[in-house]
Amino acid sequence: MKSLIKLGSAIFGVVLSLATIEVAKADIVPGTVSTDAFDSTQGTVITNDDTIIDPINAFRTSGGFEDGHTLMRNGGLGSISFIEFATASPVTIGGVRLFAHNDGESSGFRRAMSNFSLFADTNSDSVFETVVANQNINPNYALQTGNNAALPENIDLTIPSLVGNITAQSWRLEVTQGSDIQPFEGARLVELDALPPIPTSVPEPTCASGIALVGALGAWINRKQKAFKCA
């Protein structure tokens, strides 16, 4: 009898472990990282917001509400909710990677967004004067152009900077509410990752040497031509 009880306990433990693993897997959004310039582990803090809950979750991969999600303000269809945040020091980015999740077609795409915008305060005067991103988004994320997410209710969107590489310490993101299935509304933001700056093109050493050689050869030819005319 005792052996059967032990066997039953062991089986229950295995099932519980498997269930825990599946929940953990479901909480992880593929692609999000914790080493980008906007991540909370790099020192990013929230300076102002009007969200429902956990604005810091937009800059970390886990923890807090829904283990890493932010709920933006529920202001009705077309309303705008914001988060202002600061990095530990000025950072240079080339764009952002946006992760979000709605409740799917069966729920009327509840908690979807219809636009994402990012602004930067490049001169530290508390005015977010530079539009870094302004991306319209289909609330039916499965139809969004450029969406790399595997599941139709998720969005994984790379958004290049509108102004090229940009450096700032203070930033503001805005999300436009894309659905109005009350009472549980407010767009769900999973994470915003900063993309590294775009490399600037420079001549390869061999190319630079070739250009210098051609220039020197041209100067030598010009000198020879002048000497010939004078002779």
pLDDT digit string (tens) for 120-168? 999 999 999 999 999 999 999 999 999 999 999 999 999 999 999 999 9
Does 177 have pLDDT greater than 60?
Answer: yes
Report the pLDDT value the prediction gives residue 64, as an integer from 0 to 100. Answer: 72
Q: What's the pLDDT band for 223 if we cut at 50, 70, 90?
A: low
Does 217 have pLDDT greater than 90?
Answer: no
Does 51 have pLDDT greater than 80?
Answer: yes
Q: What's the pLDDT band for 30 if we cut at 50, 70, 90?
A: low
Mean pLDDT in residue range 175-199: 95
Report the pLDDT value the prediction gives residue 216, as an integer from 0 to 100. Answer: 53
How many DSSP H helices and E strands does the chain contain?
2, 9
Does 213 have pLDDT greater than 90?
Answer: no
Token pair for 132? 């870094």
Report the pLDDT value the prediction gives residue 63, as an integer from 0 to 100. Answer: 72
Beta-sheet strands, E only, within the chain: 45-49, 70-71, 80-93, 95-101, 113-121, 130-136, 154-160, 166-177, 188-195
Does 203 have pLDDT greater than 90?
Answer: no
pLDDT tens sequence across 68-108:
799 999 999 999 999 999 999 999 999 999 999 999 999 99
Report the pLDDT value the prediction gives residue 200, as an integer from 0 to 100. Answer: 82
First to last CA, the chain: 118
Q: What's the pLDDT band for 29 if we cut at 50, 70, 90?
A: low
**Locate tokens 């051609």: which residue?**
214
Q: How far apart are CA 69 and CA 74, in angstroms?
A: 15
Can you give the three-state secondary structure of 177-199, one letter per residue? ECCCCCCCCCCEEEEEEEECCCC
Instruction: Please give the angle made by the CA atoms of 170, 196 and 165, to the nearest 5 degrees.
Output: 65
Does 195 have pLDDT greater than 50?
Answer: yes
- What is each CA distance from 20 to 12, 23, 101, 132, in whole angstroms? 12, 5, 21, 40
Mean pLDDT value across the chain: 81
